Amino acid sequence: MAAISKRLLLSDLVSSDKIDQVPSNYIRPISQRPNLQQVFHDSIPLIDLHHLYGPNRAHVVDQIGRACREYGFFQVKNHRVPEPTIANMMQIAKEFFKLPEEERLKSYSDDPTKTTRLSTSFNIRTEKVANWRDFLRLHCYPLENYIHEWPTNPASFRDHVAEYCRRVRGLALQLIEAISESLGLDKDYISRQLGKHGQHMALNYYPPCPQPDLTYGLPGHTDLNLITILLQDDVPGLQVLRNGDHWVAVDPVPNTFIINIGDQIQVMSNDKYKSVLHRAVVNCDKERISIPTFYCPSPDAVIGPAPELVTDDERAVYRQFTYGEYYEKFWNRGLATENCLDMFMATYLLHIICLINYSE
Ligand code: OGA
Ligand code: NI
């Protein structure tokens, strides 16, 4: 079996050490492997946002609501993020991950509280099995608080990424309004709950993998934030859990974004909309880049089920919490253990007592 890597980043292990086997610390137990043959291709809804801005808005809002309820995921076209902005963002990500190791390592940190950092896997401080991924994570709203921390190599990194962030934030705000409306809430309701708002992003780099059936780029997880807007290159890899029992591949469609509901919308909607499990698998031949934008509340924002969605018949499923509290729990628990949402259920103590009684 190959030795455990001494390199900090996976991309340097793959490109320099010419490995032909997955190192042992990346190998999942048999029961947790991706089973790449058993994947479906029935995909997720593709919603045209063109009419969101015209007289047929109600129809698009309806489509968004249905996609959130039934899939937790959808794709969008005519989203008003210019094609050159998207192309520049993808190009700069490619160039960043091609920089020499010592240049990239200037941004390296394994501390998840850092607001700008390059790292590998998911959270190497808490996880037992590593993931086949390197990533650069950036906080990006308000831009002026963070941009001075970002890499300056490639030279146009800050300009291109900042432009992308501004445009994608515009899209996020439109989607949040539509989601609010689709729940029967005031269109500003969700936005008002987000405090000063927050926006993070990741540049994910998945190198080619000699044995993709033994490991993951990212194992099944839900996103902890409000909504995620994902840009992916032309290499497939994203899979979404459908009806709780089978994985569907979401193959790339040029110039579309993939939108998914995160845990905070699940809480505010009082479980009407579900934050759905998804994962990234890797392949033998091609590197893959994906760029999720995580739109989120600011840490001080108080999140809980919308009062209008709580009735005598439909009690509040979750207690109130600050996003800061949720964020900390999420990063400390590791990806593959208990669902983070469970820890914030109104009946969490009861849940624990039942588990204890059951195991006795
Ligand atoms: C994520 C994520 C999917 C992908 O970064 O949270 O789900 O396709 N990424 O990279
Ligand atoms: Ni995700």
* Residue where the block lists tokens 């300056």: 152
Closest to 133 (Cα-Cα) out of 142, 123, 122: 122
Ligand 1, atom 6, residue with closest C-alpha: 223
CA of 299 from ligand 2 middle (Å) equals 19
Enter the tokens of residue 45. 């809804």
Q: How far apart are the C-alpha atoms of 33 and 31, rounded to whole Å?
A: 6
Of 138-147, 293-302, 344-353, the range with the lowest mean pLDDT is: 344-353
pLDDT digits (tens, 9 = 90+) for 172-223: 999 999 999 999 999 999 999 999 999 999 999 999 999 999 999 999 999 9
pLDDT digits (tens, 9 = 90+) for 52-80: 988 999 999 999 999 999 999 999 999 99
Backbone angles phi, psi at 303, to 5 degrees: -110, 140
Q: Is the pLDDT of residue 260 over 80?
A: yes
Closest to 284 (Cα-Cα) out of 194, 360, 209, 359: 209
Residue 338: what pLDDT?
Answer: 64
Residue 170: what pLDDT?
Answer: 98
Pocket lining: 290 vs ligand 1, CB cutoff 6 Å: yes
Is the separation of the CB atoms in 260 and 73 below 8 Å? yes
Residue 125: what pLDDT?
Answer: 84
Closest to 252 (Cα-Cα) out of 60, 77, 133: 77
CA of 355 from ligand 1 middle (Å) equals 31
Ligand 1, atom 10, residue with closest C-alpha: 290
Atom of ligand 1 nearest to the CA of 290: 10
Mean pLDDT over residues 1-16, rounded? 78
Ligand with an atom nearest the CA of residue 290:
1
Pocket lining: 220 vs ligand 1, CB cutoff 6 Å: no
pLDDT digits (tens, 9 = 90+) for 263-277: 999 999 999 999 999
More confident residue, 358 or 46: 46
CA of 161 from ligand 2 middle (Å) equals 20
Pocket lining: 137 vs ligand 1, CB cutoff 6 Å: no
Ligand 1, atom 5, residue with closest C-alpha: 292
Q: What is the edge-to-edge ordering of all strands in the sheet holding 116-120? A: 46-48, 73-77, 257-261, 227-232, 288-296, 198-206, 134-141, 116-120
Report residue 106's pLDDT band, with 50, 70 and 90 as the boundaries.
very high
Q: Is the pLDDT of residue 323 over 80?
A: yes
Average pLDDT of the residues of the chain? 93
Question: How many percent of the chain have pLDDT more than 70?
Answer: 95
Q: Is the pLDDT of residue 337 over 60?
A: no
Of 1-5, 45-49, 192-196, 306-310, the range with the lowest mean pLDDT is: 1-5
CA of 15 from ligand 2 middle (Å) equals 26
Pocket lining: 232 vs ligand 1, CB cutoff 6 Å: yes
Of 35-49, 50-64, 329-343, the range with the lowest mean pLDDT is: 329-343
Residue 358: what pLDDT?
Answer: 62
Is the separation of the CB atoms in 232 and 238 below 8 Å? yes
CA of 279 from ligand 2 middle (Å) equals 7
Q: How far apart are the C-alpha atoms of 274 and 60, rounded to whole Å?
A: 19
Ligand 1, atom 1, residue with closest C-alpha: 292
CA of 278 from ligand 2 middle (Å) equals 6
Enter the tokens of residue 191. 């936005």
Residue 1: what pLDDT?
Answer: 47
pLDDT digits (tens, 9 = 90+) for 17-40: 778 999 999 999 999 999 999 999
Pocket lining: 280 vs ligand 1, CB cutoff 6 Å: yes
Pocket lining: 202 vs ligand 1, CB cutoff 6 Å: yes
Pocket lining: 238 vs ligand 1, CB cutoff 6 Å: yes
Residue 116: what pLDDT?
Answer: 98
Q: How far apart are the C-alpha atoms of 340 and 327, rounded to whole Å?
A: 10
CA of 334 from ligand 2 middle (Å) equals 14
Residue type present at position 287: E
* Helix, strand and coil percent figures for the chain, each rounded to 5: 35, 20, 45
pLDDT digits (tens, 9 = 90+) for 109-131: 999 889 999 999 988 888 889 99
CA of 149 from ligand 2 middle (Å) equals 24
CA of 135 from ligand 1 middle (Å) equals 10
Task: Choose the residue to mutate in 218, 231, 241, 253 for probing ligand 1, maximizing ligand atoms within 8 Å of C-beta.
Answer: 218
Pocket lining: 303 vs ligand 1, CB cutoff 6 Å: no
CA 103 to each of CA 7, 98, 209, 289: distance values in angstroms, whole numbers, following the listed order? 14, 10, 23, 19
Pocket lining: 117 vs ligand 1, CB cutoff 6 Å: no
Pocket lining: 104 vs ligand 1, CB cutoff 6 Å: no
